[in-house]
Amino acid sequence: MAIKGLWSIGVDLGGTKVEMARVDGEGKIDQRMVLPTDVRGGPSTVKAQIIAAIRDIENKTDSRPVGVGIGVAGQIDAQQGVVRFAPNLGWHDVSLQSDLSQAVALPVVITNDVRAATWGEWIHGAGKGSQDLVCLFVGTGIGGGVVSGGQMLSGCSNTAGELGHITINLNGLPCHCGNKGCLEACAGGWAIARRAQEAIRLNPVAGVHMLNMVDGQHEAVNAKIVAQSSREGDPLAQSILDEVFQALLAGTVSIVNAFNPCRLILGGGVIEGLPELIYRIARGIHQLALEAASGPLQVLPAQLHNDAGVIGAASLAMQLFTSENK
């Protein structure tokens, strides 16, 4: 239950930008700011950016927030409040939670950015009210979060839900992670770009439609171009996206059989650019997954889009720090 008037601050910390928002107990954003992340300045500069922004948000209100939630693109030790490794920030073992908490005199919780987005969809988005759900975010990379029996899964070292790195084709192409045939290496935005660029290189005639869209710069072909080209009837782009669909179907069938969620929530840039995928995936899962597992399943689009991270981080703080105060 949201307590009227209470609010928290959500932060989505990535290698390019820091998004921050004041979020109320219903998950509504009242005030937001976006800063370019000062990666070069290092952890202390980025912390100072966040601290200044929190003060700025506070100064515009007469009530204090119940706390701050921060989603970070990286591997998080939530217990210790430490960012173990954040490749886009170039951070290793950065103590974030206690430093920020001391500076702003507020309770702070940190989590992984995909986990934060899953909290957002669970508490205020397409997962509202469900006890068993999986979020799969298909963007440049692919990440996920799992709620099972009303509990967000974290796993042994807080990395549960790395659903982009389930193998769907053990003979498949290399993945950035060092393995091959991962779901992400077949259906992530970077993999779609790789696949399209390779196809155009092999057959520039077939690739002429996409090439024209990027003025012949074939390294500029990305997932967005493939999607647009496919909508315009280009057979090569369509065949690439059909492979992407088959990959996503194999991955989501695995997820449904392994986790048996009540809801599978699909989000991220690739899904938002190809919303028709959601219906096709839903139909495919009901054909191919175990009947007992898929029977009660709903496949739904994510609702919070780019705000899932800040809303989720803020909601996590709200949940954690209002229940502690009880």
| Footprint on this chain of a copy of itself (rule: CB under 8 A) | 75, 84-85, 132, 146, 148-149, 151, 153-163, 165-171, 177-179, 181, 246-247, 250-251, 253-255, 257-262, 288-290, 292-293, 295-297
Instruction: Quote the least distance from Cβ 82 to a copy of itself, whole Å.
Output: 13
Please name the residues in contact with 298: beta carbons below 8 A apart, sequence gap of 6 or more: 262, 263, 264
* Closest listed residue to residue 146, CA positions, set 124, 121, 168, 177: 121
Residue number, 231 or 245, with CB nearest to a copy of itself: 245
Render the burial of 2-38: b for 16+ CB within 10 Å, e for the rest.
Answer: beeebbbbbbbbbeeebbbbbbbbebeeeeeeeeebe
Please name the residues in contact with 123: beta carbons below 8 A apart, sequence gap of 6 or more: 27, 311, 312, 315, 319
Residue number, 76 or 200, with CB nearest to a copy of itself: 76
* Closest listed residue to residue 211, CA positions, set 4, 102, 220, 202: 220
Residue number, 75 or 228, with CB nearest to a copy of itself: 75
Q: What is the CB neighbour count within 10 angstroms for residue 220?
A: 14
Specify whether the CB–CB gap between 88 and 15 falls below 8 A: yes
Specify whether the CB–CB gap between 40 and 1 falls below 8 A: no
Residue number, 129 or 233, with CB nearest to a copy of itself: 129
Running DSSP on this structure, what letter comes out for residue 231? H
Please name the residues in contact with 170: beta carbons below 8 A apart, sequence gap of 6 or more: 180, 181
Residue number, 65 or 139, with CB nearest to a copy of itself: 139
Specify whether the CB–CB gap between 57 and 64 falls below 8 A: no
Residue number, 11 or 186, with CB nearest to a copy of itself: 186
SS3 7: strand
Residue number, 68 or 89, with CB nearest to a copy of itself: 89
Residue bearing tokens 């205020």: 124
* HSE value, Cβ hemisphere, 13 Å, CA-based, for 198: 8
Residue number, 6 or 262, with CB nearest to a copy of itself: 262
Instruction: Quote the least distance from Cβ 189 to a copy of itself, whole Å.
Output: 19
